[in-house]
Amino acid sequence: QVQLQESGPGLVKPSQTLSLTCTVSGGSISNGGYYWSWIRQHPGRGLEWIGYISYSGSTYYNPSLKSRITISADTSKNQFSLNLSSVTAADTAVYYCARGGDYDDPFDQWGQGTLATVSS
């Protein structure tokens, strides 16, 4: 069974870049035809899909966040990462990494999530 684990700083200053990494175990991110997504949940609120990177390295981002997002992968470490630039307090959320994300590819495995707080 594949497992995902998020990591990254819990506190980021406004206008800086939030950088998070998801380490995948039990399966390769570059094999198997899977897509790998980032999803966030604002405190006490619903879920928002951020974007994905595919097994081949192609990316696709939520149009509402596209200008600030970069998702990349390090296949040697079996990790994929999220960079969210120019953060504000509105970006404070629990960030999840998950397997899945293509239009017909459900999010079937999730990490436990990591809280990122934007504050000076």
Which residues contribute to the site for another protein (CB under 8 A)? 45-49, 60, 62-64, 96, 101, 103-104, 106-113
Residue 16 or 62 having the CB closest to another protein:
62
Residue 45 CB, nearest approach to another protein (Å): 8
C-alpha atoms less than 13 angstroms from C-alpha of 78 in its C-beta half-sphere = 14
Residue 76 CB, nearest approach to another protein (Å): 26
- Report the alpha-carbon distance of residue 18 to residue 111 in Å, rounded: 18
Residue 62 or 70 having the CB closest to another protein:
62
Residue 31 or 103 having the CB closest to another protein:
103
Residue 13 or 66 having the CB closest to another protein:
66
- Cα-Cα-Cα-Cα torsion 60, 63, 68, 76, nearest 10 degrees, comes to -10
**Nearest-CA neighbor of 97 among 87, 112, 116, 117?**
112
Residue 115 CB, nearest approach to another protein (Å): 12
- Report the alpha-carbon distance of residue 31 to residue 61 in Å, rounded: 21
